Amino acid sequence: MDFKQVQQRALEVREKYSNLELKKKGEPWTNSQIMEGFVGDVGDLMKLIMAKEGVRNIENVDEKLAHELSDCLWCVFVLADKYGIDMGTSFMKTMKELDERIDKEDKD
């Protein structure tokens, strides 16, 4: 599966969630509510990273870590779409900037 397919799948699932939210509470989550969910996911991710580092004990940590990383990526794709950001273009631009920054610092 390529990047665009992954992104499209994330948006398809978000659409299903929107429909479910509409049915349950009369309106889909706002962008800020999606972000609040993402913050919760990041908290869960931190606990899993701590488990991987031996600080916490969590069963099935590898499976849960893979799930949580995927969930976080899903939120990033959804938020990018909501704000009209082309993640492919933005990601490549950011990686170029980081690469140039590393090269510059490495020369200093």
Q: What token pair was written down for 48? A: 């899993």
Name the average pLDDT for the chain. Answer: 96
Q: Give the separation between CA 84 and CA 87, rounded to whole angstroms.
A: 9
What are the tens digits of pLDDT across the range 38-47?
999 999 999 9
pLDDT at 6: 95
Residue with tokens 């665009």: 4
Q: What token pair was written down for 69? A: 């990383």
Q: What token pair was written down for 68? A: 């949580």
What are the tens digits of pLDDT across the range 6-20?
999 999 999 999 999
Averaged pLDDT for residues 62-91:
97
pLDDT at 1: 81
Averaged pLDDT for residues 78-93:
96
